[in-house]
Structures are given as structure tokens and as C-alpha cells.
Amino acid sequence: MSQDYSLPFLKSVAQRIYTEHQQQLTKIIVVLPSRRAGMYFKQYFGEVIPQTTIAPAVLSMEGFAERLSNLVKADSVTLLFKLFSLYRKKDKTITIEKFGALGKSLLREFNMIDNNLTEEQAEKMFEHLKEAKAIEHWAEALGEEEEMIEQVRKELFAKKETMADFLEFWENLSSTYFEFKEVLKKEGYAYGGLAFREAYNHLESRIDYLGIKKVIFAGFSQMSGVEQAIVQKLTDIGKAQTFFDADKQYFSKYHEAGHYLRRYTEGFAKQHIDFQKDWWSTHPKQVEIKAISNVVGQAKYAGEWLKSLLDTPEKRAEFQKTLNHTAILLPDEALLPSLLRSLPEIDFGGEQTLAQMTNITMGMPFFKTPLFDLLRTIFQLQERMKLSEENQRCAYFKDVQNVLRHPYFQYTSSLKEFEEISTTILDEIVKQKMVWVPLEKINDWGDKHPIYRAVFQYWGNDYRNALSSFVELIKVLAEILKANPDTLGVSSAETLEESFEGELLVQFYKVIRRLQDTLPQFAKESGQLSISVFKSLLLELLRSSNVPFTGVPIAPLQIMGMLESRALDFKNILILSCNEGNLPIKKAVEAIIPFDTRVQYGMPTYMDNEAAFAYTFYRLFHRAENLVFAYLDGNAGGDIGEMSRLVLQVKEELAEIPSNQISLKTDVWLLSKADKAMALPVTIEKEEVLQRRIKERLAGGVSPSALNSFIRNPLTFIDEKVLKLKEEEEVEEDLDNRTFGNLIHLACEWGLRRMAGLKDDDEDTPFVLRKEHFENAISDTTFILKLIQDVAKEEGADMSRGQNLLLKAVAQNLLVRFFKKQIEEIEKSNDKAITIVGLEKFVDHTFEVEVDGEKFPVKLSGMADRIDVIDGQLRVVDYKSGGYNPTDLGVKNWTDLLEDEHKGKFLQLVVYSYLLTKAGLDDSNFRFQQKLNNAGVIIQKEKLTAIDLSKGVASGFYFFRKINEGLKTCKVDQPIGEIQELDFLEKTEKLIEEIVKMMLDTEKLLEDVI
């Protein structure tokens, strides 16, 4: 066979088969690595035959084994149940819940054993394992390797309590393996390895029975032990022919890609030396390695790459008529949705599109679809349901929110009414602060729509209820999608049957039907199945399912996984996600049979799998003209690894080739300008409308915290204080910092009132508190507890469980320490008392500022947590549930308050002192002056020091994280830079005027970098 670079491997095989066997094509079986390769072979065979003829049978290796074994390959659920029934005869205490994970591991190991060992070899290996474990048991008695043995026991056999039980498992492993095989064969079932072993055991008789003259194996690299034995036996009897696609470099030195091929040359491939061609160094090709900084960028790059390939009419014409033009390979299948959305729109004329000339070979893994996410959410919803005190079945609010926020419940405008129902329910949950939501209420809110009945019903730990619920869900979703095609914005099909969403439902229904057929018989034999077992089985089946895409099977553009590319050739190849861990895939950890035992008995390990993967990778170079490897660089973040070692290896090997046949280019791909624009800062110019809104806000009242917000982040101030945009409210199950702070504030307010014998909602009346008030509150164990319970109820917080229960204890401790700190202050005072003038008192003052020659009012207003008098000093006190930095409570220059966002607490004290000073001195604030007069009456009545307004107003914070430090004050009437000649009130008004000028500065932009 001459070396023709333009001739695909499978086409050259088809030519040779026709030339050598055209007289007996009906008595030939062609075995290929995959069904996809079989489809291409049939296409090529049709091109090479000069006239109509009957083609040979074309099978995958698995299909070939199944045909010769006369056994039906059983699904994983059937195999698991049959293995469990057998295993339970040896261990009566085992349950299906405990057996699930072990059973899956055993099935994988049994499959691997049959694929690589004869029954005699398997028996020897099991004997070796028993002896090895017996030695470990003996070593444990001597105190050796105790930690290692204990770890193995914990990981694999948590239910075993003694080492004797542990050893018993290894003694029974052999009998379980052999008995299980016999049970399956009697019933006509098999797993993959058993089908191969049975095919080998009856190979000659089955081949003769079928009248097969030749079995042709083409395009293989990795073969299991039994596959090699089948090929060798057929070779020995003159009924096998092999075609390999290899490069001579795989044999001239140790090369990972030639790991298996070198082994075959010593056996059945010995007579086939012509497959050692020179594809690597003499074939003209261009190789590019692209570093990309993010995951989505890879998909965008693929779109640009396709555009460059098809940027002229001549290139597009060639694309349309070339069978093996382009392939995009995805080692990481999660990239598929992004890639599909990034495919470019290319006009081929005649209303033909790129999508019509694209085939997606790999399919979408079911576990990466929205429907799978919904199913997991529904299971979590069921697992966390509980009965309320009113004996109502309730769902946890986060689970309800997760369901209602799912795409299947939040549709586009085509289902506006349906979307509004979900939104209304979500709003009601937040509005009513419901942590546990009754199912009956959800169905009522949902107008008893069938989808709500299907999802929000209680299964009662009965898998049959779950099955019925899912069948109903499938029917409802089918009806919704049929009435509203492409609701999720994914499919372009005209009917549900042709759409991706429809195929999802079909795949799901097939799995449900399989379980409906299988589970009743098993439940009858083993007892009631729990929901946890049903969940495990259902999700396991769905994880192993792929949702096929509709398309043209043989198309110029193929999107596929790495394994799908076996034996196929393409002119242009792009491989994405070429990072270590994807290319090759991460090595799997051996589950039961130890690594050293695998090596000793010739069973494959992760090293063999990596060698097979290396061949798949290197073979892509054989006939390709243009190869691009895109990988995520270190800027991608997360757990992204380095560039694949296979790509690094190729890079080094290409550099050693002396010829000019290969062009190697390495560079970094950057986002286009259009995409970069998304990363520019967002700017808001304060135009006339916005200026007016700011002035309206200033005239209506601006608090110290609002001023602080502007200094910290102008955009936040504009959004929240001027435009009044609010974040969406959420139900708080665990108190966040803000709500916990509110709870402490309210507890301090109500606590002081209660000590004085007042009601929580009494109008502010000045009152005096002495040492004994606080001592009585501390000694009365129920006082603080009831206080916290009452304020928690007011805040709608459940303090009886979880993190809130801990916060309840924290709140109790903080209040006790706070009350003790009040006692210390009282003891230090001359009056031995604190006069409370007001709690949560609102004070305000309006004055005019002038900006650019225009005068307009600014109203300062604030809610003081507490106004009190101690030894004649009027104070404004603010509670802070957090801590503080001492440097933030002082300034050297007044401009610090304008420029340093950390000085916000000092700014608040300045404004509070200003407001109380103005309120006390300004006759227009009659109500507050009256309160001061009333306080003066009480002070006189109690024989305390009178209020001395000449002292000014002191301001301070109680920081509850540092409550032992007491009230933290700072002197605000001190010389501050350029305005030191002014008095305190004038200084403050000058400061506010400067802040207002900054707000209305039309020259400056407010920026918030995204």
C-alpha cells in the first residue's frame, strides 16, 4: 500500500479489502474501534467500489464480541441487582444501600478481569489476593502496618467490625466472581468483559457456524488481553487480517504512543510490517499552540478559527465537498454548550448554513443538562422535607427557590403567565419570611398547575411515588415544550420530537421505564427500596447516558470527543482544553484490586490507559495539514492545570525535525476589541437630570451613613440613595451581619426601656437608670433570654436551631457584657446614674449651601441609637455590632474626611454632634428642646447634675466586638487644617458643603471598574 497523505486511513483499508476480497465480501467481517469509524468506512467503501455490491459486515469490537457470545449485554441496574442477590447469600446483613458503591466497584473489577485474564489466571490472582490479605492480617497481629490496614477497612468496608470480617470478604471474592458469571450466562446476560470472554471461548465454532472466511481488524492500538487473544487465535487459523495506522517513530525508540503496537509486532502483527510508515516528519503541516486566558475564550477562539478557515468562496466550496475537512475535538465535554453558541454564521449560498454541515458526534452528557440539575434539586427537596407544628408537610425554602428559579420554571416571554406564577411564589416566600414552606400552599399559589403537582408532592420514602411523579413531570414538560417550542433557547428544530429538549425527555423516559420494569421484581425479592437507593440508581443511569444531537452523520465539520476520532482523519484539527488533566484525562484510582497485583498479572493500569490516549493523540498528525492546540494559561484561575505534557512533548519533538515541512507557531490569543469593551470601566456623567435628583435627595434629607456611602463609593450612593435601587430581598435562615446587628440594636433599646419599667413601644420619655437596674437585669436569667426571644420574633428570625442558636448565645453574652460596662460608667460618674433622653431618636437640621453661585437647601438627618446625659454631658451614642480600627477615629486634616473612606465613623460622629448641638440650640426644633427640658426636670427631681450645653455634645460608639473597651469617643471640636479659625458648627457646615460640591462636580466621572 503506497503512502498517500491525502488518502484517509479507512479509505485505504476499504480499497485494499475490495481489491483482495471482492469475491467473498459477504463472508467478511470488518471490525473497527468505534461505530463512528464504521460509518466512515461504509462511506469510503461506497466510493472505492466500481459497481453496486453487497458490503461486508462492519462492527465495532464490542458488537463483534456480542455477536459471537450469543449473550445480551445487560444494563448496569440489572447487573447490580443480580450481583446484590448473589452477594447477600454470603452476607445476610448487607443492604442495597450499603452495597451500592461496593457493587459498582465489583462490576468494574469483574469486567476488567474478564477482559484481561483467563479463568485459570483469574483463579491464581484471587488466591494471591487471599494470601496477601492473610499476611496483612498476620502482620496486624504483630502491630505492623496497622494504620494502612485500618484505612483500607474504613474506605471499602465500613460495616466490617473485625479483621476476620475483612479477610472473609477477600476469601469470598473469588467465589462471588465465578458464581456471578454462571448466573448471568444461564439467564443469557453479560457485561462487556464476559461477552468478550465467552466469544473467545467459542470463537472457532461460532466463526464456522456463521461461515466467516475473514475477520479484518483495522485502526486499533490498545486492545485488552482477551481482544488480543481473539485476534491471535483467528490469525493462527488463518482467518484474521490486521491493518494498523502507525508511524515508524513509535518503533525506533521507546515512545508512549507505540506501547501496544510494539507488543503486537511480536505476535499477530508480525507479518504486517508495512504499517510502519513515516507520517510524522515528511508530511507538510502547520502546527499552532494557543494560550487562552479563560474558558469562554476557547469557544470564541474556535468561532474565529472557523471563520478564518472559510473566509473565501473557494475555501467554502472546498469545505462543502470534502468529507474529512475539519474536526474540533473536546477533551473536556463541558465546553460543548459554549462552543455551539460560538459557531459563526457563514453564508454558503443556496440557504445553506454551517449548522447544516456540522455533526456533533459526542452527544451531550445527560448529567450536564438542565433537566439533570432539576432532578437533583427535586431529590434534595424531598430529602429535606419535614412536618410542621401544624402537621403540614413543608419544604425547605432554599430548595423551593432552587426549583422555581430553574430554567424550566423561569421561561421566556412565550410563557409569561407561567413565569409570573413562579415569580409570585418566590416573592411570597420572601415577603412572609418563610423558612419552611407548606406543599399545599405552594400548589395553591401555583394555581394547581400540573407541573407543581408533579414536583411539590411528598413521596413518603416510596420509590413508586417518585416514579409516578417523574412520569407526570415528563408529560407536563412535553406538553409545555410542544406548545412553546424552543422555550429554553437551545433548539432550532421545528417539532418537539426533533428538538434537543424533546430528546432529553425521551432519554429520561427510557430510563424511568427501565426502572419501572426492573425495580418491582427486585423489591419483591429484597423488600422495600428506599428513596436514597432509587436516587442512586436513577442518577447513575442518567450519568452514563448521552443525549444525541440531530444532524448529518457524515459532515464536513465534526465536533467530537478524543476517543471518537479513532481511525478517522481530518485536514484541519482544533483541540480545545489541552491542559494536563484533560489531555490525557486524570488517572483513576484502582478501587479493589491493588496496583501491584494488577501489574503482576498483566492487567491494565492508568499507565496503559495513558499510553492508549497518547496514540489517539499522535495519530491525528498522520494526515492533517493544519493542527491547533488551545490550552488555558495560568490566568484562567481555578484548578486549571498546566499545558498538557503531550503538547509539550510534541513541541519538543517537532523542534528536532530538520526538515522545513512543519511550521510550528506558539502564541497567546486575546479577546477581540468588541469583547474587550465589556471590561472597560462603567462611567456615569452627572448630567442635568442626575444633578437635579441629587439636589432633591439632599433637600429631602441625607444621613451620616449616606454621606459615608458617597465617600466610600459614589456609584453605590447614586444607586441606593439617589436612584433608590435596592438589592432583591432574601429569606434569612441564618442571620447575616446586618440582621444580627439590627437584633443587638433592638435588644439594647428594648432592654433599657424594660429596666425603667416602660413598654417597648412607649413614646420617648426621659428616664434615669442606676447601677441596680443593670444588676437586676444581669442577675435575672430570664430577662435577657426573653429580651432576645422577643427581638428575634420582631425580626422574623428563628433562633432555635443551627447557626442562629449559636448567635443567640453570642447575643446573650454581648448584652451581659454591655450591661456590665454601663455599671462601670455609672460607678465612675458623680451622679451614679445615666439619664436617657431618647432611644432611636430622629434629629435633623436644614441649612443652605452655595455651589457655582446657586444656593439650595441641604437637610442633614440621622437616627441616633441613644441620646443620654451623664454628669451634665449631653452625649449621642451609636451601637456597632462589629469592631474598629483605632486610627479611623481620628483625623489630622479635614480633607481626610473627604478622601479617606476609612474615616467614615469619624464623619458620622461629626454629623451627629452637629445635629444634636443644632437641635439643642435652635429654637425651631421645639420638640427636641422640650425633651431636653423634660430631661432637665427629671435631673432636677433626681438631684442629678443639670445639663450643661456649654460643654457641647460628645459623640461615641459602643463596638460590641470590643465591648470591654467601653464607649469610644473622639473630640470633634479640634483644630482641623484650613478651617481651624471657625467654630465647630461652621466647620461642619463647611465640610458638608465640600462633600456636596463633589457630588455635583460635572467635570469628574464616577467610575466603578468591573
For 380-397, the pLDDT digits (tens) are 999 999 888 788 999 998
Q: Is the pLDDT of residue 911 over 50?
A: yes
| CA gap 288, 374 in Å, rounded | 41
pLDDT tier, 732 (very low <50, low <70, confident <90, very high otherwise): low
29 vs 35: CA distance, rounded Å: 14
Residue type, 729: E
DSSP 8-state secondary structure symbol assigned to residue 994: H
Is a pLDDT exceeding 90 seen at residue 199? yes
* pLDDT tier, 273 (very low <50, low <70, confident <90, very high otherwise): low
| pLDDT value of residue 707 | 81
**Predicted TM-score (pTM) above 0.75:** no
Rg, Å, the chain Cα set? 39
| Number of other CB atoms surrounding residue 61 within 10 Å | 20
**Quick one: which of 657, 662, 646 has its CA closest to 256?**
646
| CB within 8 Å of 804: residues ≥ 6 apart | 733, 734, 735, 797, 798
CB atoms within 10 A of CB 644: 22
Confidence at residue 609, expressed as pLDDT on a 0 to 100 scale:
86
Q: Is 319 helix (H, G, I), strand (E, B) or coil?
A: helix
**Per-residue pLDDT at 131:** 75
572 strand-pairing partners: 326, 626
> Does the pLDDT of residue 272 top 70, yes or no?
no
Lowest mean pLDDT among 163-172, 441-450, 931-940: 163-172
Place 287 in a pLDDT band, splitting at 50, 70 and 90.
Answer: very high
What confidence tier does 822 reach under pLDDT thresholds 50, 70, 90?
Answer: very high
Residues 6+ apart with CB under 8 A from 199: 64, 65, 66, 68, 69, 206, 230
Cross-strand partners of 628: 288, 574
Convert 384-422 into a string of H (helix), E (strand) and C (coil).
Answer: CCEECCCCCEEEEHHHHHHHHCCCCCCCCHHHHHHHHHH
Contact 576, 292 (CB under 8 A): no
What is the mean predicted confidence (pLDDT) over 478-497? 57
pLDDT averaged over every residue in the chain: 81
452: amino acid identity, one letter? Y
Alpha helix positions (H), 658-801:
673-676, 688-700, 704-712, 714-717, 737-755, 771-779, 781-795
743, pLDDT greater than 60 = yes
Angle among Cα 548, 550, 553 to the nearest 5 degrees reads 95
Q: What is the pLDDT of residue 148?
A: 46
| pLDDT confidence tier of residue 583, bands split at 50, 70 and 90 | confident
Give the per-residue pLDDT at 744.
87
Q: What is the mean pLDDT of residues 78-97?
A: 84
Residue 383's pLDDT is 92
Q: Is the per-residue pLDDT at 978 higher than 70?
A: no
Pairing mode, strands 326-329 and 285-292: unpaired
CA count, 13 A, side-chain hemisphere, 971? 6
Q: Distance between CA 929 and CA 952 in Å, rounded? A: 15
Instruction: Specify the pLDDT at position 489.
Output: 43
Q: What is the mean pLDDT of residues 939-962?
A: 82
Is it the case that residue 589 has pLDDT exceeding 70? Answer: no
More confident call, 650 vs 892: 650
Comparing 771 with 852, the larger pLDDT belongs to: 771
For range 168-193, the mean pLDDT: 88
Mean pLDDT of 748-760: 90
CA atoms within 13 A on the CB side of 964: 1
State the Cα–Cα distance between residues 742 and 679, nearest whole angstrom.
37
* Separation of alpha carbons 595 and 603, rounded Å: 9
pLDDT class of 679 with cuts at 50, 70, 90: very low
Query: What span, in angstroms and rounded, lies between the C-alpha atoms of 217 and 231?
Result: 8
Q: What is the pLDDT of residues 110-154, one digit of tens each?
A: 999 999 999 999 999 888 887 776 665 544 444 444 454 444 444
Whole-angstrom Cα distance, residue 878 to residue 912?
9
Residue 462 — left, alpha, or beta (φ > 0 → left; ψ -120 to 50 → alpha)?
A: beta
Amino acid in position 867: I
**Mean per-residue pLDDT for 12-40?**
93
Burial of 736 (0-12, 13-18, 19+ CB in 10 A): exposed
The alpha carbon of 311 is separated from its chain's Cα centroid by a whole number of angstroms, namely 37
Residue 856 has pLDDT above 90, yes or no: no
Residue 834 to residue 634: CA distance in whole angstroms = 62
pLDDT at 556: 92
Confidence of residue 844 (pLDDT cuts 50, 70, 90): confident
Angle between the N-to-C axes of helices 96-116 and 192-201, in degrees from 0 to 180, rounded to the nearest 10: 40
CB neighbour class for 630 (10 Å; exposed up to 12, middle 13-18, buried from 19): buried
Q: Pick the residue with more confidence: 512 or 488?
A: 512
- CA–CA distance, 917 with 864 (Å, rounded to integer): 13
Lowest mean pLDDT among 228-237, 260-269, 633-642, 906-915: 633-642
78: pLDDT strictly greater than 70? yes
Check residues 902 and 1005 and name the one with the higher pLDDT.
902
Instruction: Determine the average pLDDT of the residues in 622-650.
Output: 82
Q: 522 vs 537, which has greater pLDDT?
A: 537
User: Domains of the chain, with CATH numbers?
Assistant: 9-70+202-277 (3.40.50.300), 72-197 (no CATH), 285-363+550-675 (3.40.50.300), 372-547 (no CATH), 706-714+829-999 (no CATH)
Least confident of 208-217, 415-424, 426-435, 590-599: 415-424
Least confident of 198-207, 469-478, 579-588: 579-588
H helix or E strand, kind and range, residue 288? strand 285-292
pLDDT in tens, 763-799: 777 899 999 999 999 998 789 899 988 888 887 777 7
Instruction: Specify whether the CB–CB gap between 976 and 987 falls below 8 A.
Output: yes
Give 626: exposed, middle or buried? Use CB within 10 Å, 0-12, 13-18, 19+: middle
Residues 962-970, mean pLDDT to the nearest whole number: 85
Percent of the chain with pLDDT over 90: 30
Of 998, 1000, 1005, nearest to 695 by C-alpha is 1000
Q: Is the confidence at residue 416, as pLDDT, over 80?
A: no
- Note the pLDDT of residue 498: 58
Half-sphere exposure of 760 (CA within 13 A, CB side): 12
Whether the CB-CB separation of 404 and 410 falls below 8 Å is answered with yes
Q: Read off the pLDDT band of 851 (50, 70, 90).
A: confident
Rounded Cα–Cα distance for residues 255 and 405 (Å)? 52
Q: Please enumerate in sequence order all residues whose Cβ is within 8 A of that of 836, keeping only pairs 6 or more positions apart, or say none.
A: 752, 756, 766, 767, 768, 769, 866, 867, 868
57 vs 905: which has the higher pLDDT: 57
Residue 494: count other Cβ atoms within 10 Å of its Cβ.
Answer: 10
Single out the residue of 84, 22, 76, 14 nearest to residue 45, CA to CA: 14
Residue 704 in contact with residue 908, Cβ under 8 Å?
yes
- When pLDDT is averaged across residues 274-297 and rounded to a whole number, the result is 82
pLDDT of residue 211: 93
Distance of CA 195 to the CA centre of its chain: 38
Q: Judge whether residue 312 has pLDDT over 70.
A: yes
CA distance 103 to 83: 7
DSSP for residue 638: T
Give the contacts of 176 (CB within 8 A, at least 6 positions apart). 83, 86, 87, 90, 106
pLDDT of residue 528: 67
Tell me the per-residue pLDDT of 33-54, one tens digit each, with 9 for 90 and over: 998 899 999 999 999 998 888 8
Question: pLDDT grade, residue 627 (50/70/90)?
Answer: very high
Residue 61 phi, psi dihedral angles, 5° rounding: -60, -40
